[in-house]
Amino acid sequence: MSLPSLPSFSIRGRRLLPIVQGGMGVGVSAHRLAGAVARTGAMGTIASIDLRHHHADLSETAAPSRDRDELNRRNLIALDREVRAALALAGGNGLVAVNVMKAVEAHPAYVRQACASGAQAIVMGAGLPLDLPELADGHPDVALIPILSDARGVAVVLKKWARKGRLPDAIVIEHPRYAGGHLGAPNPADLGNAKFDFAEVIPAVSKAFAEMGIAPGQIPLIVGGGINSHEKLFAALAMGASAVQVGTPFAVTAEGDAHPNFKRVLLDAKPEDIVTFMSVAGLPARAVKTPWLANYLKREAKLQGCAKADPGRCAIGLHCLAQCGLRDGLEKAGQFCIDAQLVAALKGDVAKGLFFRGSESLPFGREMRTVRELIEHLLTGVRPEHAAPELEASAA
Ligand SMILES: Cc1cc2nc3c(=O)[nH]c(=O)nc-3n(C[C@H](O)[C@H](O)[C@H](O)COP(=O)(O)O)c2cc1C
């Protein structure tokens, strides 16, 4: 996208549009979405978790397995394919990043594979990414980007990384009051705490930078959660952010990698349908109250009362999380298999799936548009005129 008068920022010498597409698992942001975003000159992000579901030859239907090592092996093959395909789609434009959740047991292998496959950045959240510099060792050109939600977390990461001789190449600040998926607050009651407001976090982080001798602008801040308009994008830039991270609006684009039913659930959700609850990862999460979630929430207290540490409760056998409320019997955490529910959503099973979504309305209402239309709309404020493609077209 050639928009010379528009603001831009740089990561590792690459000039980028000030829009970052957030990583969305399971499989919601794979090569098609991340590659299309990068092609415009922005940063696209593949979510690394459990990508085998996008590859028929690696999925359970091709060869059933409950062996953790075998499932991880297939996921790494899938990640390699996805990174290479996204880079090919990007055609040298923008930046292709891989999102890795620290809470995932196999996160070291995902980071190493992403680097080996040519990912240009690793973005890590869902836990403090203190080990990221070592994991990416040997790949000095790969940008390292932590996701955090408050200034205290940023200061901890900066100090630990500085001792290892590394600083982040950018930092994503995600607001738990608005974002979709897992949220960076210890429990649902904290989500609205003012310490997460960008107007609080940006100056506090700038102060932490100054105390460590980091020049203003040296580490770009990317703020995300609820950015659904041109006005919000430019308000964030005026506050001192270098870019915004956008999730839900990209998940519902034509290029989004999930099934059309997934997009329809997110597009059609009304404010009262969007809820927060405790995930098995021990973090609050935000999703649409679809039939499975409504039913689970009715039974949540009872299930938490029956929490019991039992490896057999990992029915899939992937043991995806380092700490899982269901498998490890953590009664304050969720009591369901997050992998099974998210994969059902990816495949468009509206009855069984768990559909992560941010809290805010979508830029084009209930209409599905393309990545390019979304990015142009956010950058210019102009609403594209032509008709949206048919929802079904995205399945092609
Ligand atoms: C469907 C969905 C899945 C998500 N999965 C992940 C994930 O795997 N890792 C992650 O760091 N963030 C994840 N997120 C958060 C997004 O990357 C993004 O930061 C957030 O949704 C921004 O808020 P917005 O949706 O209001 O734009 C997810 C969000 C959604 C909507």
Q: Rounded to 5 degrees, what angle do the CA atoms 267, 269, 275 make?
A: 130
Pocket perturbation via mutation, ligand 1, pick of 46, 178, 356, 357 by most ligand atoms within 8 A of CB = 356
Q: What is the DSSP string of 322-348?
A: SS-TTTBT-TTS--S-HHHHHHHHHTT
Cα gap 361→287, rounded to integer Å: 13
At 65 the three-state DSSP class reads coil
307: helix, strand or coil: coil
Q: Which two tokens stand for residue 92?
A: 């040298």
Q: Tell me which of 19, 26, 147, 248 to substitute to probe ligand 1's pocket, judged by most ligand atoms within 8 Å of the beta carbon.
A: 248
**pLDDT tens profile 23-42:** 999 999 999 999 999 999 99
Any ligand 1 atom below 6 A from CB of 87 = no
pTM of the model: 0.95
Contact 215, 167 (CB under 8 A): no
Q: Which residues of the chain have pLDDT under 70?
A: 1-4, 386-396
Q: Where are the alpha helices (DSSP H) in the chain?
A: 31-39, 68-90, 107-117, 132-135, 151-163, 198-211, 230-238, 248-251, 260-268, 291-305, 338-346, 371-380
What tokens does 153 get? 């977390």
- By CB atoms closer than 10 A (0-12, 13-18, 19+), residue 151 is buried
Alpha carbon separation from 50 to 24, 28, 267 (Å, rounded): 11, 11, 24
What are the distances in angstroms from CA 315 to CA 75, 102, 211, 361? 17, 22, 49, 36
- 102: nearest Cα among 339, 342, 331, 322: 322
Ligand 1 site-directed mutation target among 24, 110, 273, 354, most atoms within 8 Å of CB = 24
Atom of ligand 1 nearest to the CA of 172: 19
How far apart CA 190 and CA 69 sit, in angstroms, is: 37
Whether ligand 1 lies within 6 angstroms of the CB of 247 is answered as yes
Q: How far is CA 284 from CA 98, 100, 126, 190, in A?
A: 23, 18, 11, 10
Domains of the chain (ranges plus CATH)? Answer: 9-265+360-382 (3.20.20.70), 270-356 (no CATH)
Residue 121 · residue 338 · CB < 8 Å:
no
Q: 125 CB less than 6 Å from ligand 1?
A: yes
User: pLDDT at position 314, please?
Assistant: 86
DSSP classification of residue 387: P
Report how far residue 77's alpha carbon sits from residue 394's, in angstroms, rounded to the nearest whole number.
25
**Tokens 């964030």 — which residue?**
236
Give the residue among 200, 198, 145, 205 at the shortest CA–CA distance from 175.
Answer: 198
Compute, in angstroms, the gap from residue 248 CA to the centroid of ligand 1. 7
Q: Rounded CA gap, 58 and 181, in Å?
A: 25
